[in-house]
Amino acid sequence: MTEERAQMPSPDPPSSKGQEAQRTFNKITDYYDLMNRLMTLGRHAVWCRDVAARTRVPSGGRMLDVATGTGVIALAALKKYPNSTIHAVDFSDRMLTEAASKPGASAIRWQHADANDLPFGDEFFDAVTHGYLLRNVDDVERVLAEQYRVLKRGGRVVILETCPPQGLLRYPVTLGVRVLIPLLGQVVARDRESYAYLQKSTLGFMTPEEVVAILRRVGFASIAWKKKFFGTHMIISAEKQ
């Protein structure tokens, strides 16, 4: 199996939602890690380690972190599976530059790529991960189908994503997210607008059940999920059979 797709067609430019995400993430790179720590009260790093652990990459295997951002999941995976090859892609060059400057990052293969058209051959990876990707794409099914394509049979996808809070916590948590995220963005990063976008995409995304239904349609099985952080985050894992 070759790493690059032979005769790759030139990828489509990012879609409208993709363009907004690309602009936003290129803009907020400098404050990304700090803001993430503040917005999740330090839990983001723990969830990324959890995501890495759930991939169960075999020794000598290959893992891909899509929409790697500043590389937190990719670096956690490298620590957990030092004998594996970790690839990490993103369509924000500023995020990739930041990720590649972190300690230990030189062992990871960083690459510019759009999640809609991954530049890898079929069945190349033992595991695929991503954090906070799906709410930024126009076509969730296409992006998950692309991940299914590059996974080997028996390979796992592990997803970290936000979800709209439900039940009793729905109203207080929604209000907290609406007020706190743009406020933190204004005070810490001096950029209320970008964090208003993040707040909107967080509350507007799918429930775990909706993502699971798409994973099933794409062909994934053995699907498991759990919610985190007052029902605002989810970790979902699934297997290609």
| Known binding residues for S-adenosyl-L-methionine | 70, 90, 114-115
Rounded-to-integer distance, Cα 95 and Cα 79, Å: 20
- Is 232 one of the binding residues for ligand SAM (CB under 6 A)? no
Considering the complex, state which of residue 74 and residue 154 has its C-beta at the smaller distance from ligand SAM: 74
Pick from 52, 63, 64, 72: which binds ligand SAM (CB under 6 A)? Answer: 72
Neighbouring C-alpha atoms within 13 Å toward the C-beta of 78: 19
β-sheet bridge partners, residue 220? 240
- Is 120 one of the binding residues for ligand SAM (CB under 6 A)? no
C-alpha to C-alpha distances, 211 to 37, 141, 207, 215, nearest whole angstrom: 25, 9, 7, 6
C-alpha to C-alpha distances, 46 to 4, 18, 75, nearest whole angstrom: 32, 27, 12
Pick from 54, 61, 69, 159: which binds ligand SAM (CB under 6 A)? Answer: 69
Considering the complex, state which of residue 153 and residue 200 has its C-beta at the smaller distance from ligand SAM: 200
Site mask, ligand SAM, residues 136-165, x = CB under 6 A? xx----------------------------
Q: Which of 103, 104, 61, 123 is nearest to 86 (CA)?
A: 61
Task: Report the residue number whose CB is nearest to ligand SAM.
Answer: 69
Q: Minimum distance from CB of 36 to ligand SAM (Å)?
A: 6
Contacts with ligand SAM: how many residues (CB under 6 A)? 22
Residue 77 backbone phi and psi in degrees, to 5:
-65, -40
DSSP state of 145: H
- Is 78 one of the binding residues for ligand SAM (CB under 6 A)? no
Pick from 39, 63, 68, 191: which binds ligand SAM (CB under 6 A)? Answer: 68
- Is 88 one of the binding residues for ligand SAM (CB under 6 A)? no
- Is 73 one of the binding residues for ligand SAM (CB under 6 A)? yes
Q: Minimum distance from CB of 241 to ligand SAM (Å)?
A: 26
Residue 163 backbone phi and psi in degrees, to 5:
-145, 155
Q: How far is CA 80 from the centre of its chain?
A: 18
Q: How far is CA 83 from the centre of its chain?
A: 23
Q: Which residues contact 190 (CB under 8 A, 6 or more apart)?
A: none
- Is 126 one of the binding residues for ligand SAM (CB under 6 A)? no
Q: List residues binding ligand SAM (CB under 6 A).
A: 18, 21-22, 25, 36, 67-69, 72-73, 90-92, 95, 114-116, 131-133, 136-137
